[in-house]
Structure 1
């Protein structure tokens, strides 16, 4: 059964094309969080990357601390902290501080890393990343959930009688969420520890999207094996979504930006094959939508696309817009506005009561006196 309510948020990796002044780019990203806060989005996630140019935010905790002062209700999440790069005590300590600075709105998103150059610059072999993630995750979970002092020794960190000197804000739990790109390892580890998960529904251009239903099954099986209780309401899925007045207007708005993201970033910079047999680059966005790697279209198209995603996965708790610079700034803002005002209410239920009220009046209006406006006669049959 689907979770009762589907929440909406955004996931900023980020992916920004080269050429923009970074100071102004950071400011624009903060302004986006402010906009989504005003539009009642539930969450905003910010990633950690240190190379490749397009991935411009290296310390999401600092970014989220700045965002906390500009926002009122939106939850703020690291999307994600790459655990192999940090001592787990420092990860947990920063999480506690952000939990207080945000008045309990912080979510600690963690992952194993996605850009080999980052690991190379730190002298970490890529083959070590998975083991480091597993070791660090266990320590971070224990530090944030246990009242006992923690002791652990691995090849790269030591914890000696370690205990955080502050409890979470109002003694609430800091939510921890592990990110999964497709291997299933993070889903297994999250199930073992009973923590939340965020799955990437977006695929590299020219490739099939990951099997999200299968990912959840891995998570569910691991949780059952280790006696952990999990809930689909704590499962996030991130996917590119763009809403326009019409399907054509939406597709045309993102066409050039999608090509730049697919062929300049993934193709030219990352050196990966992004070709689609029989599909010209200028039509790659239509192919991505057809494959389910993005939802782009009118309000009705996007409602249908989200419904299909829920059916295919069996249900989840939050849909995160995978934030991209595929369209110009004003059209991007308009898309978030349309999503919040007209798409989200189909899944949050926020527009159901007014619609029910209007329908009830329409169905029962014969029993009420009708107001006669100046210059208008009374309705036939009414005195």
Structure 2
């Protein structure tokens, strides 16, 4: 596996009832923090209901975050393309590509919350059917085509983009996958990246990881596309890291119950089924089911390696944004991962360890040469003094 990128997948998940203005500000500050730490990517969600995932337009959030950051790439994670006119999705992303000087990325999905789609008269079957239709239109528009097409929700007549992307030939496009082969099938067909969300958040999804990429490769071959590059495969995972396991366990008591309750009782999203009745059971579910790591940097390293082994290799690991711990401990978790986990998977750890080992192996001999040098210069000085006497 080549240099692994790291990032965050920020839905976000905020406990209902708190000040939403401050919660959104906290999200922006987290992206700034990740930029300073050297994280590669941040993906921002789109949701319109259920009270916790409160960013309605990832494009607007990204525009604000781009002005606060320097290096981190910013993606829609994901744009619910079934909800929108595909012409305007493509048009807005090209604008964002220019505003960010090539740091924007488009993530595409059908929309995860039925409470979102029902407000515009669509059910989950509708959104999945529209997903493929709209993705086809978006990719054609971004390739410079003029598109005339009637979909269930929109009529495009000689539709075309007035701007070309800032990124040549185009910014990254990726398709979301939970557990079914729908996402991998579209990624292979259209030559996009793959963003595996549920594949790392449930045991069934974890078991299907390698199968996901097989589907991408099969579809790419079927449609005559080049063999897909695994660097375009992003996996989303769960972690909270502290200096000790005990500290990590104490810190997640702050908010892990809300996160579990959201998926157990609020969001009609059974693909993200989680189990656990109290904090201990919730921690055990994350760690023992193998879907995440609550613990130390060694646990984090082991989890990333486990995903690499199970998948056969991927390009980026995205930490699912959550508020299991308070903001200070959450920022510290990201910092510990950047400081101690990044180097293991980016080719930076071995060289400094090897340099230390080389120095340790020759320390005794080199230390003696230092002492010999001091002795030599002392004797030389004494000889010079004697010659002047």
TM-score (structure 2 length as normaliser)? 0.89
Q: 1:329 aligns with which of 312, 327, 338?
A: 327
Matches of 1:293 and 1:257 in 2, distance apart? 18
Matches of 2:120 and 2:244 in 1, distance apart? 47
Q: Deviations over 1:12-42 (max 9, x none)?
A: 0111111221111111100000000000000
SS at match of 1:29: helix
Q: 1:71 aligns with which of 57, 62, 69?
A: 69
Equivalent residue, structure 1, for 2:153 = 156
Establish whether residue 268 from structure 1 lines up as the match of residue 265 from structure 2: yes
Matches of 1:77 and 1:60 in 2, distance apart? 8
Q: Deviations over 1:253-277 (max 9, x none)?
A: 21452222113x122324777545x
Equivalent residue, structure 1, for 2:387 = none
Structure 1 residue runs of 5 or longer lacking an equivalent are none
Establish whether residue 254 from structure 1 lines up as the match of residue 252 from structure 2: yes
Matches of 1:244 and 1:187 in 2, distance apart? 34
SS at match of 2:18: coil
The alpha carbon displacement at 1:182 in A equals: 1.0
The alpha carbon displacement at 1:355 in A equals: 3.0
Equivalent residue, structure 2, for 1:60 = 58
Matches of 2:291 and 2:137 in 1, distance apart? 34
Give every structure 1 segment of 4 or more consecutive aligned residues whose post-TM-superposition deviation is greater than 6 Å.
none
User: Given the superposition, is the C-alpha separation of residues 163 and 252 from structure 1 closer, same or farther in structure 2, using an over 3 Å criterion?
Assistant: same
The alpha carbon displacement at 1:213 in A equals: 1.4
The number of residues matched between the two structures is 370
Contact 1:259 1:282 in 2 (8 A): no
Establish whether residue 356 from structure 1 lines up as the match of residue 354 from structure 2: yes
Contact 2:89 2:138 in 1 (8 A): yes
SS at match of 2:255: helix
Q: 1:188 aligns with which of 166, 185, 189?
A: 185
Question: Which range is displaced more, 100-109 or 347-356?
Answer: 347-356
Matches of 1:115 and 1:287 in 2, distance apart? 24
Equivalent residue, structure 1, for 2:90 = 92
Contact 1:255 1:282 in 2 (8 A): no
Q: Deviations over 1:190-245 (max 9, x none)?
A: 110111010013436xx644421111111121111112221111100001111111
Establish whether residue 22 from structure 1 lines up as the match of residue 25 from structure 2: no
Matches of 1:126 and 1:65 in 2, distance apart? 29
Matches of 2:309 and 2:340 in 1, distance apart? 20
**Root-mean-square deviation (Å):** 2.4
Contact 1:49 1:57 in 2 (8 A): yes
Contact 2:179 2:204 in 1 (8 A): no
SS at match of 1:183: coil
Establish whether residue 126 from structure 1 lines up as the match of residue 124 from structure 2: yes
The alpha carbon displacement at 1:281 in A equals: 5.3
Matches of 1:269 and 1:26 in 2, distance apart? 21
Matches of 2:43 and 2:73 in 1, distance apart? 8
Higher helix share: 2
Question: Which range is displaced more, 132-141 or 194-203?
Answer: 194-203
Matches of 2:49 and 2:171 in 1, distance apart? 29
Contact 1:149 1:163 in 2 (8 A): yes
Question: Which range is displaced more, 151-160 or 311-320?
Answer: 151-160
Question: Which range is displaced more, 238-247 or 311-320?
Answer: 238-247
